Amino acid sequence: MHLGYSNERGVFDEMVDANGVLRPHWKTFGGFLNQCGTEDFKARSEDVQRLLRDHGVTYNVYEDASGTSRPWSLDILPFIVSQDDFKAVQAGLDQRGRLLNAILQDVYGPQRLLRDGLLPPGLVYANPGYLRPVLGVNPSGGRFVFTFGCDLVRDATGRWQVLADRAQAPSGHGYALENRIIMANVHAEEFNASKIRRLASYYETKREMLRSLSPRHRPGEAGILMLTPGPFSETYFEHAFQARYLGFPLVEGADLTVRDRHLHLKTLEGLRRVDVVIRHVDDVYCDPLELNADSLLGTAGLLEAWRNGGIALANGLGAGVVETPALHPFMPGLCRHLLGEELMLPCVPTWWCGQRRELDLVLADPDRWVVKPAFVRGARDPVFLADLDSEQKARMLDTIRAAPHEWVAQEVLELSTAPTWTGSRIEPRSLVWRAFAIAQGGGFITMPGGLARVSPEPHRWLVTMRSGGISKDTWVVGDGAPDPFYENLKKQQTVVIRPARPPSGVPSRVADHLFWFGRYAERLETATRVLRAVMQRLAGERSQVQGHEVDGCVSLMAYLGLVPAGTENALEHLPALLTDPRRPGSIPDLLGRLRYNAAAARDRLSDDMWRLVNRLERDARLPAGAFLLSSAQGVLDNLILDLAAIAGMQQENMTRGHGWRFLELGRRIERACGVLELTGAATQCCEQDDSLLTPLLEICDSTMTYRRLHFARPSLAPTLDLLLLNDINPRSVIHQLQILGRLSAQLPQVPGTSTIPTPRQQTDSLLSDLSAVHLDSPARDAAGIAVIIPQICARLVKELEKLSDIITEHFFSHASRNPE
């Protein structure tokens, strides 16, 4: 059945029972599977890939030598959870959340559990997750954990067990939502027919919960931020995605500062108080003053601000101490003692070697065990002792004996399997379900979904995204009753919201990235146009005129630094300029910079804009094989269209806030510089030969305008007039300066100093410099122009770079921090 799916491994299978019969909650989707042929799967699989690409869903892998991000991998088959299973898990996670908080309150408070012998002291003291500076902190509401994740696995009898807890900054919330968006799209009919529970109300609860955490009572105005380690973090995609979905600004540690023991966001308009931080930065990196001093991801004084009670942290610092699997054997006792309840969701049976008896048990019969580090997550993969040869095994056991408290042992697990599409058929693969819960009232509610992962290969036990796992959307079967969230929405009275225009609150760093996003977009366009101009002339029928023009273009390229001076044969440099990311100024180099800056300001860009950035990257790839001028030209044509689309999206769809303004500033400065550099270089060459003017007009996208005005072959003075001084030409320098003048008048007010003028003063002086240029003065013959214009161009470029520095100095300057 189902393209030959069978429960071949004799373990619990999520879809079929031991007799190969479809489980009841798979009925609807199973019906669809039965109708589907291989071709349907392939088509839908392609749809998934396309959507993942378009949405730019990635997972960054540190170990990856190329340092690039890996596309997210999503199976087209969902993992379906029955109502009964979900109810049990929901109750179990509610209890677990309360239990984790109770343990944390004690460990960072009176430490009765240690004194009363319910927790071995070594389990806490040797645990690097135990943060001594947190001792005595009383977080607002008394809670450390507001949202957590649990990796669940099913044993052979079909019972769910906890494999791991994620209590600091659990990742996966955003990926789970993104998976759902894609799956609901690809399987729209089956999804709607299956009465699957929606995720929206869970996220709405999360949003409300975070709002309610604000220590200051300022409904609707609380400063709530999402803290990320930045674009190089493994899961940056979901930080940006969630920030946008929940509507909270995404910030990095350097965007924040502690003043008067309160946390503030550095915005273009000054400091703004912060009330709630949703952190995606691990405990020890959050504060270089009191935690890891080498951390560049945190904010000095964050812990003091938290201790002082001015902010709520979701989750609280130090929560990492309960993530250790060494805690598992103690959970039933802790649950009884702290909550007076029996533990509902059991943990995977675990032995902590920090205890004498447990250590002896492991050493006595090593082959029974899988051992893994107790405290440092991901430090190394679990080791199957039975798989080691005798020498390796002896070494491993010595390692354990030397520091037994650093190890836990578990019996080899037989994980349940779930049907997974391999590209040609459906196979059973081992499954881990990361379920999520968030605080609500005194307890926790569970996301009706989650992030399921299956092993990348059959017969493999290890299931992590880091090691190439495949994710699955998790569908929880509902009873078809209307979602209370939507019901409430209907019943809710309309709240009167007065129209407001609060300060933008754009973090300075984000403005900085947007500014450079603008600059690199223009720089990329100039480089693309120059290359295209060269290639068209190389590829076309080579008339003598074009031959001259090629030489001229090559000297322009040399002037821009794209090829070394004195290059004779441009052709040999072209492949590298189109493909080598290490070559400064090459297309991939500029593209990488553009993308980096866009990614770092991701939460300020719309999904469509982001899609365009992703498309740009895709379109820039040359087809594999030998370098062909024709296909390279095709690539360049597409890039120009993509860049135009980005510019159009910026002009037509982006809010005219400070973010937009800085993007625009960067764009205009760069475009003016590009035109000035090209014009200066071309004028210099014009002394001998004016064949450069045609490509120059072409690169500056002004050919049509010139023709309409002059109906003649380009000559020097009119060309210069059109490119420098004619303000009806949107590519002219004067046009850029006029826009810069208007923009700088709208920037946040900054005091000018004797050494640094304001952006406005600088643009005014640029405009007056340019207006002093006269091309029609009879005293100036062609030779005179050829001398003076390059000088003027060079000076203006210098002044524009100064404007860029002034903007940096006034608005972005967030110098690096130096730990002492």
Cβ-Cβ contacts under 8 Å for 595 (sequence gap 6 or more): 613, 616, 617
Pick the binder of another protein from 61, 126, 622, 786 (CB under 8 A): 126
Please provide the size of the chain in residues.
820
| Residue number, 541 or 820, with CB nearest to another protein | 820
Listed residue (143, 137, 141, 109) closest to 124, CA to CA: 109
As measured in angstroms, the least distance from the Cβ of 121 to another protein is: 5
* Burial label, 75 (beta-carbon count in 10 A; 0-12, 13-18, 19+): buried
Closer residue to another protein (CB): 611 or 814: 814
Task: Check if the beta carbon of residue 75 is closer than 8 Å to that of residue 422.
Answer: no
Interaction residues for another protein, span 165-194 (CB under 8 A): none
Helix (H, G, I), strand (E, B) or coil at 787: helix
Neighbours of 189 (CB within 10 A): 8
Contacts of 110 (CB under 8 A, 6+ apart): none
Size of the site for another protein (CB under 8 A): 40
Closest CA to 204 of 25, 27, 411, 448: 448
Q: Which residues in 648-672 are b (16+ Cβ under 10 Å) and which e?
A: ebbeeebeebbbbbbbbbbbbbbbb
The span of 55-63, 109-117, 591-599, 635-643 binding another protein (CB under 8 A) equals 109-117
Among 105, 140, 355, 738, binds another protein (CB under 8 A): 355
In this structure, which amino acid lies at residue 195? K
Stretch of 166-174, 251-259, 512-520, 565-573 contacting another protein, by CB under 8 A: 251-259
Residue 708 CB coordination number (10 Å): 8
Q: Can residue 121 be called a binding residue for another protein (CB under 8 A)?
A: yes
- To which H or E segment does residue 703 belong? helix 703-710
Which residue shows structure tokens 């051992």? 371
Residue 814 sits in the site that holds another protein (CB under 8 A): yes
Least distance (Å) between residue 820 CB and another protein: 5
Write down the least CB distance from residue 364 to another protein, Å: 18
Q: Please answer whether residues 371 and 362 qualify as being in contact, where contact means their C-beta atoms are separated by less than 8 angstroms.
A: yes
Cβ closer to another protein: 107 or 530? 107
Within residues 405-434, the interface with another protein by CB under 8 A covers 405
751 belongs to the binding site for another protein (CB under 8 A): no
Does residue number 135 form part of the binding site for another protein (CB under 8 A)? yes
Q: Quick check: 115 binds another protein (CB under 8 A)?
A: yes
Phi, psi of 72 (to 5 degrees): -70, 140
x-marked contacts with another protein along 376-405 as a string, rule CB under 8 A: --------------------------xx-x
Nearer to another protein, 79 or 352 (CB): 352
Cα Rg of the chain, angstroms: 31
Residues 598-627 that bind another protein (CB under 8 A): none
Out of 273, 425, 802, 817, which residue is the one contacting another protein (CB under 8 A)? Answer: 817
109 lies in the binding site for another protein (CB under 8 A): no
Among 3, 114, 388, 794, binds another protein (CB under 8 A): 114
Q: Which stretch binds another protein (CB under 8 A): 80-88, 113-121, 578-586, 650-658?
A: 113-121
Listing from the earlier edge strand, what are the strands of the sheet with 270-273?
256-259, 262-267, 270-273
- Minimum CB–partner distance for residue 394 and another protein (Å): 15
With CB under 8 A as the contact rule, the residue among 217, 356, 380, 459 that binds another protein is 356
Q: Which is nearer to another protein, 134 or 477 (CB)?
A: 134
| Contact between 755 and another protein per CB under 8 A | no
Beta-sheet pairing, 224-227 with 250-251: parallel
The closest alpha carbon to 174, from 150, 199, 141, belongs to 199
> In the complex, what is the shortest distance from the CB of residue 287 to another protein, in angstroms, rounded to a whole number?
9
Helix, strand or coil, per DSSP, at residue 276:
strand
Residues whose CB is less than 8 angstroms from the CB of residue 662 and which lie 6 or more positions away in sequence, other chains included: 506, 511, 512, 514, 515, 518, 807, 811
Site string for another protein, 281-310 (x = CB under 8 A): -------xxx--x------xx--x--xx--
**Interface residue with another protein, options 35, 66, 569, 818 (CB under 8 A):** 818
The residue from 65, 500, 565, 815 that contacts another protein (CB under 8 A) is: 815
Q: Which of 117, 219, 340, 502 binds another protein (CB under 8 A)?
A: 117
Residue in 8, 40, 84, 116 binding another protein, rule: CB under 8 A: 116
Min dist. Cβ of residue 142 to another protein (A):
19
Distances (CA, A) of 58 to 52, 172, 465: 8, 12, 11
Side-chain half-sphere exposure of 627, counting CA atoms within 13 A: 12
The pairs formed by 787-790 with CB atoms below 8 angstroms and a separation of 24 or more are 789/679, 789/680, 789/683, 789/720, 790/680, 790/681, 790/683, 790/684
The two structure tokens encoding residue 352: 């902590």
CA 800 – CA 811 distance, rounded (Å):
16
Most distant CA pair in the chain, distance: 102
Asked if 374 touches another protein (CB under 8 A), the answer is no
Q: Contacting another protein (CB under 8 A), which of 63, 189, 260, 365?
A: 260
Q: Return the structure tokens found at 552.
A: 């001229």
257 near another protein (CB under 8 A): yes
How far does the chain reach from its first CA to its final CA, in angstroms?
Answer: 66
Using rule CB under 8 A, residue 9 touches another protein:
no
**C-beta closer to another protein: residue 113 or 672:** 113
Residue 741 is a binding residue for another protein (CB under 8 A): no
Does 120 interact with another protein (rule: CB under 8 A)?
yes
Residue 819 binds another protein (CB under 8 A)? yes
- Measured from the CB atom, the residue of 97 and 301 that comes closer to another protein is 301
Residue closer to another protein (CB basis): 357 or 498:
357
**Residue 133 interacts with another protein (CB under 8 A): yes or no:** yes
Closest CB 444 distance from another protein, rounded Å? 29
Q: Which is nearer to another protein, 17 or 805 (CB)?
A: 805
820 touching another protein, by CB under 8 A: yes
Residue 259 or 621 having the CB closest to another protein: 259
Query: Under a CB-based contact definition with an 8 Å cutoff, are residues 723 and 675 in contact?
Result: yes
139 binds another protein (CB under 8 A): no
Of 15, 258, 362, 432, the one binding another protein by CB under 8 A: 258
Q: Is 571 an interacting residue with respect to another protein (CB under 8 A)?
A: no
Give me the least distance between CB of 504 and another protein, in Å please: 23
What is the 3-state secondary structure of 290-315? CCCCCCCCCCCCHHHHHHCCCCEEEC
Q: Which residues bind another protein (CB under 8 A)?
A: 114-117, 120-122, 125-126, 132-133, 135-136, 257-261, 288-290, 293, 300-301, 304, 307-308, 354-356, 402-403, 405, 814-820
